[in-house]
Amino acid sequence: MIRKPKYNVAVVGVGAVGEEMLRVLKQRHFPLGELRVFARSERDIKVDNDSYHVLGISPEGFEGIDFALFAGTEGEKGAAVTFAPEAVKHGAVVIDNGADFRMDKDVPLVVPEVNAKDAKKHKGIIANPNCSTIQMAVALNPIHKLSKIKRIIVSTYQAVSGAGRSAIRQLESESEKICGVQTNAPAEKVFAYNIAHNLIPQIGAFADAGYTSEEWKMVRETHKIFHTDKIKISATTVRVPVKTGHSESIYIETQKSLDIDAVKAALSKSGSIIVKDDIANSIYPLPADCEGKDEVFVGRIRKDPFVDKGLWLWVVADNLRKGAATNAIQIAEYLIS
């Protein structure tokens, strides 16, 4: 990446993540030259108090773009699969929030706090990890530096915004009906079951050994980010009736026994982690408190009373920001730093 005073950026997709990318670019004062916003069809949108003209996407639209941030749909007909190679041909560095390229051996999978240098090995495309993987990797990296992690058992409690704007509308619509509120909003049905006043212990399709695709993402992506497949990882991912903010209960076993104060100190020294761990006053991270923030919040840090090398953590982050938009823009910031 040639150092310049300003960089031309394209944001592809104007769903929940795309809108957050526009918001984060402004809030983090990214050195923007020209900003182009693409979607399937041309229209105007408003994010907060800012208006944006959305262009219909085309290969020619990436001419002169330095960074192309893809936030849209996945799969063989998704925007990244269709247009990322075209963006690269036109000289852009693609940072893709989808899952299509994450496990490609030629595509770096990057969490800047953990493996930023991998971003320099790109061949035009860099992948953002899954939202639940990102916050776990950020929280565990300082501990992994103290003593190598041997085992991870994680249960996630994932907000509906991770499934897009329609999922948010389903939660709102069902909640209004339960509360007896009359609404003219169209009924949304993203999830197979009601999500309001409910939990759904399935995110993604069921795959190998009875685990879902979301659970396997956490395994395989964590191995790639930490450059090892030696860590034994088992995950259960659950959709919960929360609008924004993923929460995770994480159990780890390390190679050597760690002092709990040393663990808290290491976490506190990380610029991307905020430790909220004052059980005497019932202070710990809550998704409602983390919405709109870029940090990863960690609390309930405690030793396993029966396993000397075991630790528990409670980890919360805004899945649309650090779990998606902010992480992507941090990768771009690293490349121009």
Candidate list 122, 131, 144, 290, residue with the active-site label = 131
Pairing of strands 273-275, 232-239: unpaired
> CA-to-CA distance for 243 and 124, rounded, in angstroms?
34
Catalytic, 131? Answer yes
> CA-to-CA distance for 273 and 13, rounded, in angstroms?
29
Amino acid symbol at 23 = R
Q: What is the 3-state secondary structure (H, E, C) of 215-256?
A: HHHHHHHHHHHCCCCCCEEEEEEEECCCCCCEEEEEEEEECC
> CA-to-CA distance for 294 and 292, rounded, in angstroms?
7
Candidate list 122, 144, 246, 290, residue with the active-site label = 246
Catalytic, 223? Answer no
Residues with active-site annotation = 131, 246
